Structure 1
């Protein structure tokens, strides 16, 4: 498996637990794919968090009631930055 695929699986593992609308694990496949793409495009946690919020709020057409997109973005960027060094 190539490095990008390994990274994407690691990011997906974290995103699986992110459930801001209490819809249940596995419900956010489209949002996860968009969020993974955003991780590859962003280096700044605040900007990534804003993009994640935009992705989820666009899908649900309402403000994100739960979750912590800043903490999520920070975690995702740590995974991204550590994997590029160790993979």
Structure 2
């Protein structure tokens, strides 16, 4: 899997997540920031905190860290799968 394919899978996971129930298309900027964070971070709790901060900054709403952690594990699993195939 190349980086483009990996990024598309990450986008799909984040669109399906829809933490504020505003629809898949309502998070384009946040998704872009989270994907960059997936490339930069390697630990689920670090990524979860970053996800929480990104969404809170944009929407002025707080997401429980546990919810962000669940998503971070899914995202990092895609990253690990992509890097193990190269």
Shift of 1:64: 2.5
Question: Residue by residue, what CA displacement relative to the aligned partner does 1:4-50 show, whole Å, maximum 9, x if unpaired?
Answer: 11111111111111111111111100000000000001100001000
1:63 and 1:69 map into 2 onto residues whose CA distance is 10
4+ runs of 1 displaced by more than 2 Å? none
2:70 and 2:60 map into 1 onto residues whose CA distance is 22
CA contact (8 A) 2:41 2:47 kept: yes
Aligned to 1:31: 30
Question: Residue by residue, what CA displacement relative to the aligned partner does 1:44-69 show, whole Å, maximum 9, x if unpaired?
Answer: 0001000000000000122227x811
TM-score normalised according to structure 1 size = 0.89
For the aligned residues, what is the CA RMSD? 1.7
Higher helix share: 2
CA contact (8 A) 2:3 2:82 kept: no
Aligned to 2:13: 14
Aligned to 2:71: 72
